[in-house]
A and B are shown apart, each in its own frame.
Chain A
């Protein structure tokens, strides 16, 4: 089956971007607007790119259960750097991560 281009819809403001074949949600969203999603490890380890799939299908790669526990995954959370659209998708962005321990 040829890889397709899928629409990624940002729920908060209705903006859309076409994800290129095989492209991750992270790369597609950053191409739309770099401020939408924080740039972390891009390898599924740090969790700063976490978002929720509100609609549609994604394929996910290896990610750390320390930042994406199975319970969150079951609620539709994914790491954007490890999620590739398999249909048109709508995403719900999460609050930007901060470090609460800085004095």
Chain B
């Protein structure tokens, strides 16, 4: 029951064709459809659902909305009641608001991000299938990312947004970063057994820090870095390691300046795992474990 995962993100693109080329040839996602409004739908090779990434033409960069997939239509009823009970305005979107998607709830989080919650999406299957599959399919392009992993959202009041996801949407916290006084700078939240599905950082309302694609291991991260560099993609930092989450990472930018990440590693948190706390004086080690200091872009570059 409840939210299963970050099902998708919808991303604004200044030049749609450049973005489609990038997310297919560099990231290695495949296009599964385009609708009459020009939205292009994509998925990773190991995802069953119709899409996890929607690219939409826009005159601005950034995040249009995130999508959370729940296990059953009953969960939509449950969360509608819970959200409305807490004074959150919830709209219902009819089936087909995105290609292959069933009826959905539509609401705004305290950080100014729109959230779509849905229970049903057409399954088109993975590239390796569900019967005696190979470990990976032939003919992958670029990085060949198997799936979407997580997103880091900015919010003026990181505590308020974190409370919203934990208390109303039943996320658990794996790690947090706090000031000397214990005020929250950032939080890492999960519904799966990965170290984060959604993270929150103090920053401008409605903006996104990055969204991330899952890779297997350090070797895949190194290969991804080669692909990124060979395609003249703008790298922010990495390959490196996060102290927080223990993840292996590269930050880089899509053609509209939206930050992407490839992420591998981490560990398995559980709802009863004690929260891991990082203090402000160790922020450098927490964010970039090898460099041991933040780069300036980490706290200021959002779209």
Encoded as 1 (CB less than 8 Å from any B CB) or 0, chain A from 26 to 43 comes to 000000000000111111
Contact between B299 and A46, CB atoms less than 8 A apart = no
- Chain A residue numbers with a CB within 8 Å of B253 are 41-43, 45
Contact between A38 and B297, CB atoms less than 8 A apart = yes
Docked CA distance A66–B303 (Å): 8
The residue in A41, A97, A102 that gathers the most chain B C-beta atoms within 10 A of its C-beta is: A41
Contact between B185 and A103, CB atoms less than 8 A apart = yes
Contact between A42 and B300, CB atoms less than 8 A apart = no
- Chain B residue numbers with a CB within 8 Å of A41 are 61, 234, 236, 253, 257-259, 301, 303
Q: Which of A38, A39, A45 contacts B258 (CB 8 A)?
A: A45
- Give the total number of A-B pairs whose CB atoms are below 8 A apart: 94
- Chain A residue numbers with a CB within 8 Å of B184 are 103
Contact between B59 and A46, CB atoms less than 8 A apart = no
Would you give the shortest CB distance from B248 to chain A, in whole angstroms? 22
- Chain A residue numbers with a CB within 8 Å of B15 are 62
Docked CA distance A38–B234 (Å): 14
- Chain B residue numbers with a CB within 8 Å of A98 are 300
- Any chain B CB within 8 A of the CB of A85? no
- Any chain B CB within 8 A of the CB of A75? no
Q: In residues 120-169 of chain B, which contact A (Cβ within 8 Å)?
A: 154-158
A66 touching B61 in the complex, CB below 8 Å, given contacts A41-B303, A43-B234: yes
Tally of B interface residues using CB under 8 Å: 35
- Chain A residue numbers with a CB within 8 Å of B254 are 43
Would you give the shortest CB distance from B26 to chain A, in whole angstroms? 13
Q: Is the interface of A mostly helix, strand, loop or mixed?
A: loop
- Chain A residue numbers with a CB within 8 Å of B202 are 99, 101-103
18 contacts between A and B (CB under 8 A): A41-B301, A43-B255, A43-B256, A44-B61, A45-B61, A45-B256, A65-B59, A65-B60, A67-B61, A97-B300, A99-B202, A99-B203, A101-B204, A102-B203, A102-B299, A103-B179, A103-B181, A103-B183
Residues of B that sit less than 8 Å from A by CB: 14-15, 59-62, 154-158, 179, 181, 183-185, 202-204, 234, 236, 253-259, 296-297, 299-303
